[in-house]
Amino acid sequence: MTLRKFLSAAIIILLASGTRLPAQTVSLSLGNAVDMALQNNHLLNVRRYQVEEKKQKVNEDRAKFLPIVILGASYQYNSSLPGLTLTRGQFGELPLGTLKIPLPATDEFISMGNHDIYNAGATLYQPVSQLGKINAGIKVSTMDLQISKIEETKAGRQIRQAVEKLFYGLLITQKQIEEADIKTTLSRAKLNDAESALAAGKTVEASRYGLAAAVADEEQNLLRLKIQYDDYSADLKQLTGLDPDQEISPEPLTEDEEIAPAAPADTSLSLAAGRNSDLKIAFLTTQKAGYSIRASKFSYLPDIGIMGGYAYQKGTIIYPKNNAFIGASLKWNLQDMLFNRTIQLQRSFAKKQADESLANTREQVSRDIMKALRKLRQSEELINVASKAVSYRKEDFRIQTDRHNSGLSLEADLLGAKAALAKAEADYLSARMNYRIARSDLEILTGNY
């Protein structure tokens, strides 16, 4: 049998038996996860397209400054031609001696056109009185564009932070699973010892059931952690755009990141005043409302513009073939003035809402900065304590390993030390995650993330 036939037969057997091939495992670092999320996330792409949409809206509004040019042409066939009929003597009589000659001498019919009529022309209209309103509209569109850009940046920061939370969550859950697995093994060993003691008549049945319940509890906790790990993994795949069928293997983080001292509260507040995304959006919203009010005020003016054009026609005698013209246009719909009053009031209330929203955002950002600073200092203390606990647990595990290898301790003692080390490492990762999230919260609030 050739190699190709052998492989084909193996694949057919696997498919027939319903056996699934093992999923591909992807090794993923935190930096790569962030880069993939920023590149592949659909919601972030939506924000990018919104920015491009607003750019085109600004270009559309700027085009309103240009004169309006209308080109047109038409063709018409007439079955009956217009004409001028002059009856005999309609203009009186011309005396010539003794004779009187009627004018015209006979009935006349003068054709005023042709069966085929052609028209072509171009008209140009340049608005004058509404240029201020057009300019205010451009300002409104520009504010929308700037808001969209800030929202895109804000979405990118949120996605970056979400990836960090999920990545740390995977690493922490891995350690917790390791701890739970060791505790499960330890509980089963104790149950086996109890069953052996029960068979030898050295213990009672009640102790066996208590240990069996402890094993079930540990197995339940282990299953819960595995489910939690799968949930974190699925969410991270969705954010990064990875195939749902792939398995993620998070790479360990580098050694302790540098704990930079937090900036004073006054410095953070001053940075947030000029860089915070929410404050920028609230401020731009107030400006946008102001430009909307300004645009409504121009609506009270009449629509005045300059117009000109050129027309060509062939087929009608009474009109010139070529005609260039220039003039002015004025339109003033007085009913629109009543409607514009209500529109201006609406936009005035929108401006007041925007002002209140800006004041509320300032207060909220100030509270959030103080909260982030407090969490940052607390996380620093937790990291120091957790780091010491890891060092002590590592030393304890080393000692228990040496004692176990020398036959001076039981397997249970070694497993207990190993489980305690895994718990200490999980707590240390959790403290680092809390610090990183608090730090990123503060950086986002101050616009430095």
Give the pLDDT confidence score for residue 411 in this predicted structure. Answer: 80
C-alpha closest to that of 418 among 436, 404, 438, 437 = 404
C-alpha closest to that of 286 among 229, 226, 349, 330 = 349
Q: Using 50, 70 and 90 to split pLDDT, how confident is the model at 301?
A: confident
pTM across the whole model: 0.73
Which domains, ranges and CATH numbers included, belong to the chain?
Answer: 30-446 (1.20.1600.10)
Token code pair at residue 99: 């004779």
Residue 149 reports pLDDT greater than 80? yes
pLDDT for 212-257, tens place per residue? 888 888 899 999 999 999 999 999 998 888 888 888 888 887 765 5
Residue 202 reports pLDDT greater than 50? yes
Q: 3-state secondary structure string, the chain?
A: CCHHHHHHHHHHHHHHHCCCCCCCEEEECHHHHHHHHHHHCHHHHHHHHHHHHHHHHHHHHHHHHCCEEEEEEEEEECCCCCEEEECCCCCCEEEECCEEEECCCCCEEEECEEEEEEEEEEEEEEECCCHHHHHHHHHHHHHHHHHHHHHHHHHHHHHHHHHHHHHHHHHHHHHHHHHHHHHHHHHHHHHHHHHHHHHCCCCCHHHHHHHHHHHHHHHHHHHHHHHHHHHHHHHHHHHHCCCCCCEEEECCCCCCCCCCCCCCHHHHHHHHHHHCHHHHHHHHHHHHHHHHHHHHHHCCCCEEEEEEEEEEEEEECCCCCEEEEEEEEEECCHHHHHHHHHHHHHHHHHHHHHHHHHHHHHHHHHHHHHHHHHHHHHHHHHHHHHHHHHHHHHHHHHHHHHHHHCCCCCHHHHHHHHHHHHHHHHHHHHHHHHHHHHHHHHHHHHCCC
Mean per-residue pLDDT of the chain: 83
Alpha carbons 222 and 279: distance in angstroms, whole number:
45
Which pairs with CB-CB distance under 8 Å and at least 24 residues apart come from 412-415? 412/186, 412/189, 412/190, 415/182, 415/185, 415/186, 415/189
Q: Provide, rounded to the nearest whole percent, the portion of the chain with pLDDT above 70.
A: 90
C-alpha closest to that of 27 among 242, 229, 172, 255 = 242
Higher pLDDT, 306 or 96: 306
Match 């080109």 to its residue by tokens.
71
Higher pLDDT, 71 or 11: 71
Mean pLDDT, range 88-102, rounded to an integer: 75
CB 154 within 8 A of CB 277: yes
Token code pair at residue 373: 């600073």
Give the pLDDT confidence score for residue 21 in this predicted structure. Answer: 46
What is the β-pairing status of strands 322-331 and 83-86? unpaired
Alpha carbons 39 and 46: distance in angstroms, whole number:
12
Token code pair at residue 415: 């497993």
Give whole-number Cα distances, 32 to 222, 240, 432, in Å.
29, 9, 19
Residue 12 reports pLDDT greater than 50? no
Mean pLDDT, range 145-150, rounded to an integer: 93
Give the pLDDT confidence score for residue 146 in this predicted structure. Answer: 94
CB 203 within 8 A of CB 197: yes
Distance from chain centroid for Cα 302? 41
Give the pLDDT confidence score for residue 10 in this predicted structure. Answer: 46
Alpha carbons 186 and 73: distance in angstroms, whole number:
93
Higher pLDDT, 391 or 114: 391
Alpha carbons 449 and 443: distance in angstroms, whole number:
5
Mean pLDDT, range 327-346, rounded to an integer: 82
Give whole-number Cα distances, 10 to 16, 51, 196, in Å.
10, 53, 46
Distance from chain centroid for Cα 427? 34
